[in-house]
Amino acid sequence: MDGKPLRVTIWNEFRHEKANPEVAALYPDGMHEALAAPLRAAGHDVRTATLDDPEHGLTEEVLAGTDVLLWWGHRHHRDVDDAVVDRVWKRVLDGMGLIPLHSSHFSKIFVRLMGTTCHLKHRVAGERERLWLVARGHPIAEGIPEHFDLQPEEMYGEPFDIPPPEELVFVSWFQGGEVFRSGCCYTRGQGRIFYFRPGHESYPTYHHPTVQRVIANAVRWAAPRDVAPRQFGRSAPLEPI
């Protein structure tokens, strides 16, 4: 492992796995545990949190002790408490990395950080997705081939109503004829955000080694820097006026 271990929190809605046997078969311990395993194996200090935990598992203490937060939500975005969203938002601006996955494009936290609707096209048809790397030298590209396929995957298509990514790492090709900006980097305050498209709950996407590698790279990329807090507000002159 290049670099020190990070404190990673993986947040999962964790309701599909309980309600849908097909999802449970793929992710018997929840998607969060599938996401956690390779990060633990890489030496990171990983904990998990879910929607139905008290405060959704994201207390002030948990967030204060989190370097990078992964987020997977889908049907129940509205059940996430606004006070918790506000708390996460502040931590991102203070430097915590955030990695919203797949249907988390519609999560309250991502929508708030983007300032747009984050709408898109979608289709569940078991089709092939091919992710093309368009930023070959990016830290998130390390060890990733020029393209890799996922099949089956859900289609997400343009238009994707996000601000133009500051760095665009992946563009997806879909068998049904669409394209999608699938790996998008942003900075907000001192925090770094990487939206990564793949991961429909009824497909085994998070067991795919290349997907796991992308996420591991993104965790490293999104890690907070050792910086002093920013100083705002009324300010005395530094030079004579």
54 or 164, CB closer to a copy of itself?
Answer: 164
CB of 25 to a copy of itself, least distance (A): 23
Site for a copy of itself in 77-116 (CB under 8 A): 93, 95, 112-116
# chain residues binding a copy of itself, by CB under 8 A = 79
Indicate whether 146 belongs to the interface with a copy of itself (CB under 8 A). Answer: yes
Residues 13 and 195: their CA atoms lie apart, in Å, by 17
Residues 122 and 174: their CA atoms lie apart, in Å, by 11
User: Out of 104, 172, 205, 212, which residue is the one contacting a copy of itself (CB under 8 A)?
Assistant: 172
Closest CA to 160 of 196, 131, 189: 196
User: Out of 23, 133, 211, 214, which residue is the one contacting a copy of itself (CB under 8 A)?
Assistant: 133
CB of 146 to a copy of itself, least distance (A): 6
158 Rama class: left (phi>0) / alpha (psi -120 to 50) / beta: beta
User: Out of 59, 190, 202, 210, which residue is the one contacting a copy of itself (CB under 8 A)?
Assistant: 190
Residues 69 and 110: their CA atoms lie apart, in Å, by 12
Closest CA to 194 of 177, 174, 170: 170
Indicate whether 19 belongs to the interface with a copy of itself (CB under 8 A). Answer: no
Indicate whether 6 belongs to the interface with a copy of itself (CB under 8 A). Answer: no
Residues 154 and 202: their CA atoms lie apart, in Å, by 9
Which of these ranges, 14-22, 53-61, 183-191, 198-206, lies near a copy of itself under the rule CB under 8 A? 183-191
37 or 134, CB closer to a copy of itself?
Answer: 134
- 97 close to 44: Cβ distance less than 8 angstroms: no
Site for a copy of itself in 21-80 (CB under 8 A): none
Cβ partners under 8 Å of residue 233, min gap 6: none
Residues 82 and 88: their CA atoms lie apart, in Å, by 10
18 or 119, CB closer to a copy of itself?
Answer: 119
Indicate whether 139 belongs to the interface with a copy of itself (CB under 8 A). Answer: yes
Indicate whether 209 belongs to the interface with a copy of itself (CB under 8 A). Answer: no
76 or 112, CB closer to a copy of itself?
Answer: 112
**Judging by beta carbons within 10 Å of its beta carbon (0-12, 13-18, 19+), is residue 147 exposed, middle or buried?**
middle
Q: Which helix (H) or strand (E) holds 38?
A: helix 31-41
User: Out of 171, 184, 214, 219, which residue is the one contacting a copy of itself (CB under 8 A)?
Assistant: 171
30 or 191, CB closer to a copy of itself?
Answer: 191
